[in-house]
Structure 1
């Protein structure tokens, strides 16, 4: 399954939305890498296995299930979360890109690629696919809410 959508961070036509800098948004995204608990409901703990320039390997523990993923990134541009499929997890990738079409606007583009098939003959798979897309969208909106909280307070609350 491929799913992609945009969330607008800065809109100069909406004075009710606090303008964030690219650096503030990036700091929030790095919290998602380093301290993912606030972003992932049900996460018990995160083990960082290794860290290098532009890459973090970790294990996310959700009760009895553990998901190993690799996060790669280019500072202030994009990050990609990649996990392999296991018996407990479908596997796939999430790429988040910072996009600035002009000097006043900022977007996050979320792109998901999973092992869930959209092309099966049964309508049930399509229903599951739509449910998963909706859950991704809600999670991404929540991510932006948390990034705004981090920008306002310096740390997640």
Structure 2
């Protein structure tokens, strides 16, 4: 299953949404990669097993379950998470890409590529829509948390999507 969507970060037409700079958004994406337990519900801990200038090998602990992934950082532009499929977990990737069509607008594109099969039956389609909705809600929450961490607690908790 492949899925992508866009979240608007800056909206020059809505003064209630405090603007973020590209650098602030990037800082938030790096924070999510390095301290995912601040962003991911149910994640107990994260151990960074190895680090290079632009990659992290991580071990994520959800209760008794452990997931390993690789995070690739393209500075100022994107973060890609690659999870290997196991008997217990769907493999795939998530790429978060910063898009700025002009100096006033800023977006974050989320692209999911999973090993879930393409929906052939009505039950499969419903399951696929539930998964997509969960991804979307998680991503909206990620942007909300980045706003809180980057802009501070005094800023309004506004979000455009």
Band of TM-score, shorter chain:
over 0.9
Does the 8 Å contact 2:92/2:113 carry over to 1?
A: yes
Say whether 1:90 aligns with 2:105.
no
State the Cα distance separating 1:53 from its structure 2 match: 1.2
1:134 aligned residue: 133
Q: 1: distance between equivalents of 2:28 and 2:88? A: 28
Q: Aligned pair count?
A: 153
Q: 2: distance between equivalents of 1:89 and 1:25? A: 29
Q: 2: distance between equivalents of 1:131 and 1:118? A: 14
Say whether 1:32 aligns with 2:44.
no
State the TM-score, normalizing by the size of structure 1: 0.95
1:49 aligned residue: 49
1:68 aligned residue: 68
2:157 aligned residue: none
Gaps of 5+ in 2: 154-161
Greater relative contact order (CA < 8 Å, ≥ 6 in sequence)? 2
Give the match's secondary structure for 1:101.
coil
Structure 1 segments (4+ residues) deviating >2 Å: none
Does the 8 Å contact 2:119/2:128 carry over to 1?
A: no
Give the match's secondary structure for 1:141.
helix
Say whether 1:125 aligns with 2:124.
yes
RMSD: 1.1
